[in-house]
């Protein structure tokens, strides 16, 4: 009997663990039955991490927080959504805004095969000076904003629960008026995870790339960094056991990891203990700066949406992290159909190495999206990829990054859209499979009435539009993208543009599915548990 009772208790505990992630009723009190007997329910808690925005004295940063809410009729507690400042890890005489020495940016951990990267070098954890919440939300459906021009603005750690948790998003947008990093930097703050890929990083002399690692947990996290190039692992470019203290951020300058300057590399971030948020801030001597977000998990089919119509160049960097080479067919989905870029019928990516391709003026005056699919007869090994896109010429260039992203399955949202300079790109990558998408503009942060519009994207094409704006818009607003029943696969990206002294400053954010709901297995009585 004792063993029987323990089995019953274990089964109940397992059920509680499963349903604890989402335990609310679907619309009208009836469960929404998913495939294989599961029930799709809203998530109960979300976490987001925003890196320290800039160390420039001439920067301005806006945080925009938004939650689209749950499906009408679902019974979920109200909850909260807020961001709070994180601590920093600093070295003696470090300076800088995010716990990083601009002279080296070293933190705890050691470079395998290289020099000591800062272990026992006197690093210290500095708590935030101000712990007041940043841009807390009052209600789903209306953005909340906050601004800062501080050169030492900290990283932010955020949590949302209840009605705010499903689809919660935070946009961090920074403008830098002068200096090598001048331009516009944008980032959809990232969720914590245990592994990230960043194709397109650089340790070249013209670039300064910093990886920001933020730990939202109550215990220290341990993180390993590794960089790959066209010939495999970069010499000495491995840092193991970097300690990221609880509720704290650590920043590393990638060029300190190796003595081999490399222009087209890939960074692999692995949390061996705990979970972290990760993003790379890239600054180029002539092309400004922007955030490089993590790419979608390596796969054998990739979509990179939202290349601006006036892009003057594009560089694709792909990495094959597995044990096999990969061969891809490369196509550009334009407004009228898919075309093959000149001279790029197929792309070969060697195992454990990166491949870079300069696509120059790829779009030829039309917006587009890059689609990579397995080449006929080639290997289907997974890869991760990202694009560096530039606008303008000479000293008036500005760059942005577009990583491969996940499709919009149920819903995706992006915040901080403006009345001017906002473009929404939708791509249906599969020929013959049109996508039908509902796009909703939320209320404005300062006022306005939501507006919705439905678009049809022909299979194999990209549709770039000026998105709907709220009636009576005041402030900024959010866009929510929802594929309609019967829609083919669809991917999305949003671009923000702003002229800064003749420089066509811009930033692009992809819109992966928000994973605002989960499928909870249907549970029932199993009296066999009572059998001894």
Tens digit of pLDDT for each residue in 467-477? 999 999 999 99
Least trusted range by pLDDT, from 13-27, 264-278, 416-430: 13-27
In a domain, 56, yes or no: yes
Selected residue with higher pLDDT from 413 and 14: 413
Q: Reduce the secondary structure of 130-171 to three states and give it as a string.
A: CCCCECCCCCCCCCEEEEECCCCCCCEEEEEEHHHCCCCEEE
Does residue 102 surpass a pLDDT of 50? no
Do 509 and 389 belong to one domain? yes
Band (pLDDT 50/70/90 cuts) for residue 524 is low
Do 423 and 525 belong to one domain? no
Selected residue with higher pLDDT from 364 and 151: 151
Selected residue with higher pLDDT from 249 and 235: 249
Average pLDDT, integer, range 264-284:
98
Beta bridge partners, 364, equal none
| Look-up of token digits 């590399």 | 265
* Angle (CA) 288 290 295, round 5°: 140
Residue 25 belongs to what domain range? Answer: 2-42+520-530
Do 336 and 266 belong to one domain? no
Does residue 512 surpass a pLDDT of 60? yes
The predicted structure's pLDDT at residue 94? 40
Do 443 and 397 belong to one domain? yes
| Most confident option among 2-16, 79-93, 224-238 | 224-238
Q: How far is CA 36 from CA 26, 99, 256, 523, in A?
A: 17, 48, 50, 12
pLDDT one-digit tens code per residue, 358-381:
998 788 899 999 999 999 877 789
Do 106 and 28 belong to one domain? no
Do 36 and 116 belong to one domain? no
Question: How far does Cα 95 stand from its chain's mean position?
Answer: 27
Does residue 101 surpass a pLDDT of 60? no
Does residue 347 surpass a pLDDT of 90? yes
Average pLDDT, integer, range 249-269:
94
In a domain, 425, yes or no: yes
Do 505 and 434 belong to one domain? yes
The predicted structure's pLDDT at residue 380? 87
Average pLDDT, integer, range 381-393:
96
> What length does the chain have?
532
Average pLDDT, integer, range 185-209:
97
Average pLDDT, integer, range 238-245:
94
The predicted structure's pLDDT at residue 265? 97
Structure tokens given for 304:
């990179």
Average pLDDT, integer, range 290-314:
97
CA dihedral 448, 454, 458, 462 (to 10 degrees): 10
Does residue 28 surpass a pLDDT of 80? no
Q: Which helix (H) or strand (E) element contains residue 12?
A: helix 2-19
Q: How far is CA 290 from CA 54, 208, 337, 367, in A?
A: 11, 11, 30, 20
Structure tokens given for 220:
């220290």
Do 17 and 52 belong to one domain? no
The predicted structure's pLDDT at residue 22? 37
For the residues of 225-249, what is the DSSP string, one character each? Answer: EEEEETTEEEEEEEEEEEEE-TTEE
Structure tokens given for 203:
């340790």
- Output the CA torsion sign for 155, 279, 61, 450: negative
Does residue 309 surpass a pLDDT of 80? yes
In a domain, 200, yes or no: yes
Average pLDDT, integer, range 260-287:
96
Do 430 and 376 belong to one domain? yes
Average pLDDT, integer, range 336-365:
91
Do 27 and 170 belong to one domain? no
The predicted structure's pLDDT at residue 37? 59
Do 138 and 194 belong to one domain? yes
The predicted structure's pLDDT at residue 122? 58
Give CA–CA dist 148/164, Å, rounded.
24
Instruction: Using the 3D structure, point to which of 239, 257, 292 is the last residue of a domain.
Output: 292
Q: What percent of the chain has pLDDT over 90?
A: 73
State phi, psi for 492 to the nearest 5 degrees.
-145, 155
In a domain, 306, yes or no: yes
Band (pLDDT 50/70/90 cuts) for residue 91 is low
Q: Reduce the secondary structure of 29-64 to three states and give it as a string.
A: HCCCECHHHEEEEECCEEEEEECCCCCCCCEEEEEE
Band (pLDDT 50/70/90 cuts) for residue 259 is confident
Average pLDDT, integer, range 452-462:
98
151: left (phi over 0), alpha (psi -120 to 50) or beta: alpha
The predicted structure's pLDDT at residue 106? 39
Q: What percent of the chain has pLDDT over 70?
A: 84
Prediction pTM value: 0.87
pLDDT one-digit tens code per residue, 490-503:
999 999 999 998 89
In a domain, 321, yes or no: yes
Band (pLDDT 50/70/90 cuts) for residue 19 is very low
In a domain, 297, yes or no: no
The predicted structure's pLDDT at residue 378? 77
Mean pLDDT of the chain: 87
Instruction: Using the 3D structure, point to which of 245, 270, 292 is the last residue of a domain.
Output: 292
Selected residue with higher pLDDT from 428 and 35: 428
Structure tokens given for 78:
């109200």
| Look-up of token digits 């932010």 | 156
- Burial class of residue 343 in the structure, from the number of CB atoms within 10 Å of its CB (0-12 exposed, 13-18 middle, 19+ buried): exposed
Beta bridge partners, 313, equal 390
Q: Which are the contacts of 120, defined by CB distance < 8 A and separation ≥ 6? A: none
The predicted structure's pLDDT at residue 72? 58
Band (pLDDT 50/70/90 cuts) for residue 15 is very low
Instruction: Using the 3D structure, point to which of 233, 263, 292 is the last residue of a domain.
Output: 292
Q: The domain that contains 118 carries what CATH number?
A: 2.60.290.11
Does residue 77 surpass a pLDDT of 90? no
Give CA–CA dist 188/204, Å, rounded.
26
Does residue 107 surpass a pLDDT of 90? no
In a domain, 314, yes or no: yes
Does residue 385 surpass a pLDDT of 80? yes
Q: How far is CA 282 from CA 196, 198, 467, in A?
A: 16, 11, 28
Band (pLDDT 50/70/90 cuts) for residue 3 is very low
Selected residue with higher pLDDT from 523 and 291: 291
Band (pLDDT 50/70/90 cuts) for residue 90 is confident
* Angle (CA) 471 170 243, round 5°: 175
Do 257 and 353 belong to one domain? no
In a domain, 71, yes or no: no
Q: Of 320, 314, 340, 308, which is closest to residue 266 (Cα–Cα)?
A: 320
Q: Of 386, 336, 380, which is closest to residue 359 (Cα–Cα)?
A: 386
The predicted structure's pLDDT at residue 161? 95
Least trusted range by pLDDT, from 9-18, 136-145, 340-349: 9-18
Q: Quote the number of domains for the chain.
A: 3
The predicted structure's pLDDT at residue 368? 96
The predicted structure's pLDDT at residue 360? 83
Selected residue with higher pLDDT from 427 and 21: 427
């Amino acid at each position: 009997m004792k063993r029987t009772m323990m089995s019953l208790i274990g089964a109940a505990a397992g059920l509680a663990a499963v349903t604890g992630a989402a335990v609310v009723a679907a619309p009208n009190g009836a469960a929404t039955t998913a495939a294989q007997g599961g029930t799709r329910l809203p998530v109960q808690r979300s976490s987001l991490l925003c890196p320290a925005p800039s160390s420039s004295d001439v920067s301005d940063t806006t945080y925009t927080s938004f939650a689209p809410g749950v499906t009408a009729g679902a019974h979920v507690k109200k909850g909260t959504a807020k961001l709070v400042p994180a601590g920093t890890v600093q070295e003696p005489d470090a300076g800088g805004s995010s716990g990083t020495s601009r002279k080296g940016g070293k933190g705890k951990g050691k470079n395998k095969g290289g020099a000591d990267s800062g272990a026992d070098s006197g690093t210290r954890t500095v708590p935030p000076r101000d712990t007041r919440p940043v841009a807390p939300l009052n209600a789903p459906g209306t953005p909340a904003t906050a601004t800062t021009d501080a050169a030492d603005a900290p990283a932010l750690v955020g949590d949302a629960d209840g009605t705010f948790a499903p689809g919660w998003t935070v946009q961090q947008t920074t403008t830098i008026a002068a200096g090598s990093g001048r331009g516009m930097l944008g980032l959809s703050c990232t969720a914590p995870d245990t592994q990230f890929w960043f194709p397109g990083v650089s340790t070249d002399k013209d670039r300064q790339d910093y990886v920001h690692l933020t730990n939202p947990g109550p215990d220290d996290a341990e993180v390993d960094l590794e960089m790959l190039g066209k010939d495999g692992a970069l010499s000495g470019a491995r840092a193991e056991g970097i300690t990221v203290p609880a509720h704290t951020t650590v920043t590393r300058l990638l060029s300190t990891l190796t003595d081999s300057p490399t222009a087209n590399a890939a960074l692999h971030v692995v949390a061996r203990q705990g979970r972290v948020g990760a993003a790379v801030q890239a600054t180029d001597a002539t092309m400004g700066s922007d955030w490089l977000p993590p790419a979608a998990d390596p796969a054998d089919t990739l979509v990179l949406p939202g290349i601006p119509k006036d892009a003057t160049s594009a560089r694709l960097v792909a990495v094959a992290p597995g044990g096999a080479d990969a061969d891809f067919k490369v196509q550009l989905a334009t407004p009228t159909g898919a075309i093959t870029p000149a001279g790029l019928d197929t792309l070969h990516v060697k195992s454990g190495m990166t491949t870079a391709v300069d696509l120059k003026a790829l779009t030829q005056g039309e917006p587009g999206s890059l689609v990579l699919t397995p080449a006929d007869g080639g290997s289907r090994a997974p890869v991760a990829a990202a694009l560096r896109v530039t606008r303008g010429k000479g000293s008036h260039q500005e760059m942005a990054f577009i990583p491969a992203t996940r499709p919009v399955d149920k819903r995706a949202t992006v915040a901080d859209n403006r009345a001017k300079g906002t473009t929404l790109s939708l791509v249906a990558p599969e020929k013959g499979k049109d996508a039908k998408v509902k796009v909703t503009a939320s209320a404005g942060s300062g006022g306005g009435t939501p507006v919705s519009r439905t678009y049809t994207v022909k299979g194999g094409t990209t549709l770039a539009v000026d998105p709907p704006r709220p009636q009576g818009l005041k402030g900024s607003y959010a866009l929510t993208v929802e594929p309609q029943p019967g829609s083919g696969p669809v991917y999305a990206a949003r671009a923000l543009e702003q002229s800064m002294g003749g420089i066509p400053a811009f930033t692009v954010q992809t819109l992966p599915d928000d994973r605002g709901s989960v499928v909870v297995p249907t549970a029932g009585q199993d009296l066999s548990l009572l059998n001894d």
